Structure 1
Amino acid sequence: MARMSWREACQLDSSLVSLERFFTVPPDYAQTLTGGLTNRCWKIVESNGRAYVWRPTTPITQAFSISRFQEFQILSSIQDSGLSPKPVSINDKGLLVEWLEGASLADSLSFEQLLEALVAVHNVPTTRIPVAPFNFTARVDHYWIQLKPELKSEEYQTIYRDWRNAPSLAEVTATLCHFDLAGYNMVASEAGIQIIDWEYATIGDPRLDLTLSIDVADVDEMEAIHQYCQMRQIEGIDDWFEGVRAWRPRANMMAMLWYLLAFQLWGDEYYYQQAEQLKQQFCT
């Protein structure tokens, strides 16, 4: 993380200038944060030690269909849950949230802890969360449309075409979903385990969220579903086994397109290799 004066930071990232009305006194310093592709964020620290995270709106966030205003609405709705950082300010340049002091769980999170966090997110009441439900087809279409023709090989096109529709499944109650819940987005703080980076969060099918977390954690699918349903006191567990299995190829296809788009935007071969690995899962 590179630390610099507030003035230097504003010269490097002009979106920070939009916060000058929020801070009556210029912050003491700003620090670049390492993280995922879409969250090139800043830690901002005032002279009194109070710290924030600035999550800018950029062409990258727009390419991935990320709305900082939706993120703000979700964080505002759940700010008393203890699960997330509190939103502080929003404007057309980005979102300011509180900094959560604590240790990243990227390398130390157990799957039981991950499941507990997932269940806590899915149990949050959704009646006061003013966001549109997740539309799987619209999201993958958004990714596909932006890809350059040279990345749309026949194999990629076939996989996209075959899996672009959501599965026909037994209905379950839609929940708040994080859609990127893993140790790298979780912090052990004085308040307990808290979750950051809600940029992909929305209201959706919790079986898709569960599928994504099972894949990231690389754990036994049947055992994970069984534990999850026990923790949420869900009966009719067969609908959840069927749901996770139906969502898995679609989740993999969505991730494949995400990596292709990431490769197109950043030119990093790592993203193309990840897309190729996912493609091979379909081909075999």
Structure 2
Amino acid sequence: MHQVFPAAQAAGSVSSLHGLTGLTYQLECAGRPLLARRQPEAGQEIPGVNRQREYRLLRKLSAADLAPEPLGWQSPWLLLAWTPGENAAEMPGDSFEQQLLPLLCRLHRQPPVGAPLNLPALLWRYWQLCHPRDKSARWLRQLRRLTNRGVPCALRKAPLHLDIHRGNLLQTRQGLQLIDWEYAADGDVALELCMLQYGEVITPAGWARWLQRYASAMSLNAGVLSQQVEHWRPWVRLLIASWYQLRYQQSQDGELKILAREAWRQIEKSQ
């Protein structure tokens, strides 16, 4: 990092931040907290993670006060401004859901940033990277079925974060702020909503009402939007299962193994 960003020589401290990819570091330079994110090394590729693309995307979204300011990119490091705030993990459910709605609407009203998501190619890359022992017939069958079907026609294209959960949201003076944009890309807003629902970021009991409010704020037909979310569901199931499978292979983390098994079980139940 010192070779890429000479100013980092003055860093008073460098510490790894907890996360499932383990590629993010906090450092302090001349009293200013910064964030450094490394491109995955060979053998540890994470499909969809590209720091150069992330840098370009953040330059556009930070101008709209939606994302952290990127300070520089030089392979393999991306340097970002630190976002002060408290993690949203302990926020009361009602308050969290109320504050997430306008933030997501602001993001989804932005024009595409020039980083289109190719979900079929992404899913095939997960397949290619996994060890042959982990490649089941059910996985290949589902992958071929979805590829032949093709992705749903987008209801509305916009920048998507694609990894929204409480751990990636901070409470700041300006309200909720999204962090960790490494999977972000342009795509259908209904895909993002499907991922929110699948991960129960919005409580199941409050989902229908929350989706109605989102549709109203975005001038979308709630019934059509709900159907579009359902069209994305098999894609989201396979994406989540593929992610857990590859990350378990790379990390040998027992918790990821359990999550991968559960994700595949959900796919089997849906057949």
SS at match of 1:263: helix
CA contact (8 A) 2:23 2:39 kept: no
* Alignment match, 1:124: 110
Q: Which runs of 5+ in 1 are unaligned?
A: 1-15
CA distance in 2, matches of 1:224, 1:230: 10
Match of 1:50 in 2: 32
SS of residue in 1 equivalent to 2:170: strand
- Paired residues for 1:17-36 under 5 Å: 17-23=2-8, 26-35=10-19
Q: Using a 3 Å threshold, how does the CA distance of structure 1 residues 170 and 146 change in structure 2: closer, same or farther?
A: closer
1:177 to 1:166, Cα distance in 2 relative to 1, 3 A:
farther
Deviations 1:163-185 (A, max 9, x none): 34565645423101000112111
- Residue 31 of structure 1 aligns with an amino acid whose one-letter code is S
- Percentage of identical aligned residues: 23
- 1:164 and 1:275 map into 2 onto residues whose CA distance is 21
Aligned to 1:135: 118
Runs of 4+ off more than 6 Å: none
Q: CA deviation at 1:119?
A: 1.4
Q: For 1:172 and 1:153, how far apart are their aligned partners in 2? A: 33
TM-score of the two chains, using structure 2 as the length reference: 0.89
Amino acid at match of 2:203: V
Quote the residue 2:84 is aligned against: 101
Q: Which residue of 1 aligns with 2:101?
A: 115
Q: What is the DSSP-based 3-state SS (H/G/I as helix, E as strand, rest coil) of the residue aligned with 1:280?
A: helix
What value does the CA root-mean-square deviation take over the aligned residues?
2.0
Q: TM-score, normalised by structure 1?
A: 0.85
Q: Which position in structure 1 is the counterpart of 2:242? A: 257
How many aligned positions are there?
A: 262
Once residues 44 and 149 of structure 2 are traced to their aligned partners in structure 1, the CA distance between those partners, rounded to angstroms, is 24
Q: Choose the corresponding residue for 1:154, options 134, 137, 160.
A: 137
Instruction: Determine if contact 2:4/2:77 at 8 Å carries over to the other structure.
Output: no
Partner of 1:40: 23
Equivalent position amino acid for 1:245 in 2: E
| d(CA) in 2 for partners of 1:171, 1:144 | 25
In the TM superposition, 1:155-234 aligns within 5 A as 155-164=138-147, 169=152, 171-216=154-199, 217=201, 219-220=203-204, 221-234=207-220
Instruction: Report the Cα distance in structure 1 between the residues aligned to 2:223 and 2:152, rounded to whole angstroms.
Output: 11
Choose the corresponding residue for 1:273, options 254, 258, 265: 258
Offset from partner CA, 1:88-133 (integer Å, 9 cap, x none)? 010011100001111011232622222222212111233xx232x1
Secondary structure of 1:83's partner? coil
| Cα gap change, 1:171 to 1:140, in 2 (>3 Å) | closer
